[in-house]
A and B are shown apart, each in its own frame.
Chain A
Amino acid sequence: MKKILLIEDDEFYTKTYKYGFEKAGYEMLTAENGDEGLKLLQSEKPDLVLLDLIMPVKDGFDFLKEIRANEALKDTPVIVLTVLAQEEDREACKQCGIDLYLVKTEHSLAEIIKKTEGVMKKRGILE
């Protein structure tokens, strides 16, 4: 079973994404902020990270910068999953190298799962 790390501070998003992805057959790890996320990333080595941007303690932008600066972690597949729809935010993330930028309100859960699988296929994690 492929492992996905969800870094998200909102309890309802966490609950529903976990529900949806588990139903689709994935093992879900969850973290509430970038700090916890980094710890889990290093200890559990998930196949892909779903990353929220606005979080307390350490936000998504800082998390991205840190893993890209880390030799062992810089190739981790990351899909940003956020409410922020502005070009500036999209660009800032692209600069750090992400696999996909999704605006939460623009896609249904089913679509998000489908696009995630698309990225995993592209990265050779899934056939």
Chain B
Amino acid sequence: MSKDTKKQVDELHEKIEGLEIEVSLLRDAYFQLEKAKKALEESERNLNKSQEIAHLGSWHLDIEKNVLTWTDEIYRIFGLKPQEFAATYEAFLERVHPDDRKKVDKAYWTSVKKRQPYNIEHRIIRPDGSIRIVNERCDTEYDKNGKALRSIGNVQDITERKKIEGELNRYKFVIDQSTQQIAFADLEGNITYVNNAWAKDHGYKKEELIGKHLSIFHPETELTTVETFNKTLLKKGHLSGEIVHKRKDGSTFPALMHNFVLKQNNKPIGLIGVAVDITKEKQIDMMKTEFVSLASHQLRTPIGGIKLLLETFKSEGIDHLTTHQQEFLTDIEVSTERMIGLIDQLLDISRLEGGKIDLQLRRVDLPSLVEKTIGALSHLFEEKRIKINYKKPSETLSQIRVDKNLTEQVIQNLLTNAAHYSRKQRARVDISLEEVDGVVILSIKDNGIGISKHEQQEIFTRFFRADNARKVYASGSGLGLYISKMIVRLLNGQLWFKSPGEGKGSTFFLSFPTVASKKSNA
């Protein structure tokens, strides 16, 4: 080979090597490009997916060329296929709800001209006629002369959110307008919300109250009650009770409160208070009690007068009267006694219901009290030929702590009932006492008319008289057991009965906790 040829071959080799390196570089570049392309595709897929999950799509508007580019999600939101969309600004505006078009158009161009942020909520209509609510935002880019070049923005479908907001607003409206006072507070008792009634009834403006502590709504004297109330509230999760409230001007009113602990995922996150001003209810209650009390006293005077007049009348001798006249006189006396008894009962009820009883609690020996009452009623039992079997307790029973007079009244009520509702022949009443588990129980068992199954649940209700009872003793008031039940409840005891049914007798039980034990069986 000549020297020239060798040189040429060497040059060729170099060139080939060079080319190989370039090819190799190109190949690398190609692979990098492929890799980048794949990464881009994946990134686009991720963007697409996240936009779908968020119902958020992005768009790009080339203002000069009027070319609108949408991501897949916007097509989904608008319910369109890319082929169906002209991809211009006007085409977009066509999809906006006709009532919103003007405002959207104006808002966008204003934002472009004035270089203000674009953020608007409006409705769109899908091809199938359904309406969605969307939130649109965008940024606009300008050239150095201030000419708008392009807008880059996004659209989010907020239809579901708007629906929930609508429902929330409905509830919020109801709470705001409620005539009951409603307040929300955090767990420390700082107010986060009050409704109109709470603010107004306490004499404040709503705004003044946010952040204030719940304690400002109570007078000093009530604060320990409030503390105890709140402690119990946090333990139980809900609590109702009467508490005194204080207004801005210092005046107070009684309120019935229903409070709740608000929980989220089972953890307490706040407090809800609902209060009702019960001034009127308390006034009415007091008026009722005063009225009954006054009426009873006003009635007692003339009726007592009748009794006295009859006595004086009789003191001048009634032998000269006809037998009928003498009988009628006796009837007047009996009728008067009944009226006095009824008025006494009404007075009792007004005092018991009004909470105006001054209890004289003492240690009492129940068996002696029972024996005393049996003695006091012996004439009644003799008259009706009822055999009394009193079983004296075999060992000394523990004492009870009760109001002696009121307890005697209850025992008397139970014994007279046994007498009134006894059977006509071979009537008997078995009375016994026992002590069981820190409680003394008195049982009074008769073999009289009994109580029918369907009337049993009403026995302790006011004015109730069973049909069979009315037949054998017409003039009962239906108040005796009602009063007895109230008294027993006041004294922390229990009053109940058993009766197999009509005609099969009844047993009444009266129990009180003994003084040694602290158990209350209320």
Contact with B along A104-115 (1 / 0, CB 8 A): 110011100000
Asked if B297 contacts A54 (CB within 8 A), the reply is yes
Cα–Cα distance between A91 and B358 once the two chains are bound (Å): 12
- Tell whether, in the assembled complex, residue A88 and residue B311 are in contact, meaning their CB atoms are under 8 Å apart: no
Among B304, B307, B308, chain A packs the most CB atoms within 10 A around the CB of B308
Nearest-CB distance from A101 to chain B (Å)?
Answer: 16
Instruction: Please report the C-alpha to C-alpha distance between residue A83 and residue B308 in the assembled complex, in whole angstroms.
Output: 13
A94 to B311, CA, bound (A): 29
Q: Which of the candidate stretches A12-20, A33-41, A42-50, A118-126 sits at the interface with the other chain?
A: A12-20
Q: Tell me, rounded to whole Å, the shortest Cβ–Cβ distance linking A33 to chain B.
A: 15
Of the candidates A13, A88, A108, A110, the one whose C-beta lies within 8 Å of that of B305 is A13
Enumerate chain A residues within 8 angstroms of B304, measured Cβ to Cβ: 13, 83, 104-105
CB-based contact A88/B358 at 8 Å: yes
A16-B312, A19-B312 known; A105-B307 Cβ under 8 A: yes
Q: For A109, list chain B residues within 8 Å (CB).
A: 308, 311-312, 315
| A13 CB contacts on chain B under 8 angstroms | 301, 304-305, 308
- A84 in contact (CB, < 8 A): yes
- Number of B residues with CB within 8 Å of any CB on chain A: 16
Residue of A nearest to B313 (CB): A16
Interface size class, chain A? 10 to 19
Whether the Cβ atoms of A10 and B358 lie closer than 8 Å is no
Q: Using an 8 Å CB-CB cutoff, how does the interface string of B298-310 with A read, 1 for contact, 0 for none?
A: 0011111101110
User: Least Cβ distance of A39 to chain B in Å?
Assistant: 24
A71 beta carbon closer than 8 Å to chain B: no
Residue of B nearest to A17 (CB): B308
Question: Which chain A residues border B309 with CB–CB below 8 Å?
Answer: 12, 16
B297 engages A83 (CB within 8 Å): yes
Q: What does DSSP make chain B's interface, helix, strand, loop or mixed? A: helix
For B214, the chain A residues whose CB sits under 8 A away are none
> Does residue A127 face the partner (Cβ distance < 8 Å to B)?
no
Please tell me if B340 contacts chain A, counting CB pairs below 8 Å: yes
Interchain nearest-CB distance for B517 vs A (Å)? 29
A10 lies within 8 A of B305 (CB): yes
Q: Judging by beta carbons under 8 Å apart, are A104 and B358 in contact?
A: no
A45 to B497, CA, bound (A): 60
User: How far, in angstroms, from A110 to B311 measured CA to CA in the complex?
Assistant: 9
Could you tell me the distance in whole angstroms from the C-beta of B487 to the nearest C-beta in chain A?
16
| A108 B300 Cβ-Cβ under 8 A | no
Q: How far is the CB of A115 from chain B (nearest CB, A)?
A: 15
Known: A84-B297, A87-B358. A20 touches B305 (CB 8 A): no
Chain A, 49-107, CB within 8 A of any chain B CB: 54, 83-84, 87-88, 104-105
Smallest CB-CB separation from A19: which chain B residue? B312
* A-B CB contacts (within 8 Å), total count: 44
Please measure, in the bound complex, the distance between the C-alpha atom of A87 and the C-alpha atom of B360, giving whole angstroms. Answer: 10
A19–B316 CA distance with the chains assembled, in angstroms: 11
Instruction: Contact check, B301 vs A83: say whether CB atoms are below 8 A apart.
Output: yes
Min Cβ gap B344→A in Å is: 9
Q: How far is the CA of A30 from the CA of B63 in the complex (A)?
A: 114
Verify B312–A20 contact, CB threshold 8 A: yes
Q: Please, which residues of chain A bring their CB within 8 A of the CB of B301?
A: 10, 13, 83
- List residues of chain B with CB within 8 A of the CB of A54: 297
* Smallest CB separation, A52 vs chain B (Å): 9
The answer on a CB contact under 8 Å between B297 and A12 is no
Chain B 328-370, CB-CB to A under 8 Å as 1, else 0, gives 0000000000001000000000000000001010000000000
Question: Considering residues A16, A88, A108, which has the most beta carbons from chain B within 10 angstroms of its beta carbon?
Answer: A16
Contact B297 A108 (CB under 8 A): no
Residues on A with beta carbons closer than 8 Å to the beta carbon of B302: 10, 12
Q: How far is the CA of A13 from the CA of B306 in the complex (A)?
A: 9
Within 8 A of B (CB), among A1-32: 10, 12-13, 16-17, 19-20, 23
For B300, list chain A residues within 8 Å (CB). Answer: 83, 105
* Contact residue among A16, A19, A105 (Cβ-Cβ distance under 8 Å from B340): A105
Measured CB to CB, the closest approach of chain A to B347, in angstroms, equals: 8
Q: Chain B contacts of A87 at CB under 8 A?
A: 358, 360
Least CB distance, A55 to chain B, in whole angstroms: 11
* Alpha-carbon distance between A19 and B308 when the two chains are bound, in angstroms: 11
Instruction: Please determine whether B297 and A16 come into contact, CB atoms closer than 8 angstroms.
Output: no
Residues of chain B within 8 A of A105, CB atoms compared: 300, 303-304, 307, 340
Give the chain A neighbours of B297 by CB distance below 8 A.
Answer: 54, 83-84
User: A84 vs B312: C-alpha distance in the bound complex, in angstroms?
Assistant: 22
The chain B residue with its CB closest to the CB of A88 is B358
Contact residues in B for A17 (Cβ distance below 8 Å): 308
**Nearest CB on A from B316, distance (A):** 9
A104 to B311, CA, bound (A): 13
A54 CA to B340 CA, complexed, in Å: 19
Sort A-B residue pairs by CB-CB distance and give the 5 closest, nearest first.
A12-B305, A105-B304, A16-B312, A83-B300, A16-B308
Please give 5 more A-B residue pairs, beta carbons under 8 A apart, in addition to A16-B305, A87-B358: A12-B302, A13-B305, A16-B309, A105-B307, A109-B311
- 5 A–B pairs (Cβ distance < 8 Å), ordered by A: A16-B305, A19-B312, A20-B315, A23-B315, A87-B360
